[in-house]
Amino acid sequence: MRTSIREIRTRGSKRKCGFMNLGRDLPYGFDRNQVDPRIGFAQQNAVNAQVPNPFFNLLPANRMPGTLRTQRNTAVSQLLRPYPHYTTLAETLRPGAENRYRALQMQFQRPFVNGFNMTIGYNYNRERNLEFYDNVDNFDQKFTWQPATNARHRVTGAAMYELPFGKGRKLMSTANPVANAVLGNWDLSGLWTYNSGLYLRFPGALVNGNPGLDNPAKNQWFNTSAFAVLPPFTRRANPLQYDDVKGPNTLNLDMTLAKGFQITERVKFEIRLEGYNVANAFFGANPDTNPANPANFGRIVSQRAGVFGRQYQYTGRFYF
């Protein structure tokens, strides 16, 4: 269940909006066949020991489904599960999680004057979710409020400009039909977006100091020396994320150049040149955050999925 509250204040072409979203009984996934992690903390490698399987060929397959029936030996940890002849028993869409989203939203708009208009929107948000901090809390079904990973700052700008050349416009309004067909009545539009980086999530680790860096680089996005691998069978104590450790920002510009030809009163033909990621910017994926992977830990080694370099698209359309 979600409840939204919105307050809007406007003044001329400016608008401010405070937005709040409250979510209750949101779905989450849960494994009903877990082993209490505290047993592993206490007994350590003893839970991985192989022992004779008491369920080996105990019953026919139609009376005892699952893989445990066919194994002569099995790990102690498997026998500690509530239903040892199964592995994971995932329950999905289980209600009970909660969400709190608050945002300041602002919009600035220039009305269409002299062939030009522009709109800029800004969103600053803070979001928290009820989550399981670690595997112990997951086993105990103990939720705690954790900050979301989403980008805090988002800016979007859109503009359209009727180039002042051609019939009915400021310049070349009396141009001959050939010149007007080539140079006149073009429209230029653009969409500009900026998103601050997503907050990075870290697995359990030994952390000494603040891992944030003032000037992160692709080969060292955060202070990797602040992390050490968490010893096996040790409960994590580090936060899921840090306020000053975010992934790379994204800044993108898409543009369109278009022109229409009025063939008859009812038929129009339009040609468009569309450019995506016009600046040919590199959008890096989030760096590796696992200290157990030292080769790539803290490094950006790939481009963000679904994002490409500069692309152009040419289209022609008939309207009738």
205 confidence band (pLDDT: 50, 70, 90) = very high
Please give the average per-residue pLDDT across 35-55, as a whole number: 96
Compute the mean pLDDT over every residue in the chain, rounded to the nearest whole number: 92
pLDDT at residue 9, as a whole number: 55
DSSP string, 200-238: PP--SEEE-S----SS-BTTBSS-GGGEEEPPTT----S
Half-sphere exposure of 42 (CA within 13 A, CB side): 6
> Do 187 and 242 meet the contact criterion of CB atoms below 8 Å apart?
no
Dist. CA 135–CA 22, nearest whole Å = 26
pLDDT at residue 135, as a whole number: 96
Global pTM reads 0.82
Domain ranges of the chain: 2-32+96-319, 33-88
pLDDT at residue 12, as a whole number: 46
DSSP string, 22-67: EEEEEEEEEETTPPPHHHHHHHGGGGG-EEE-TTTT-S-TTTS-SS
- Residue 205 tokens read as 């680790």
Is residue 39 predicted with pLDDT exceeding 60? yes
1 confidence band (pLDDT: 50, 70, 90) = low
- Residue 34 tokens read as 């877990």
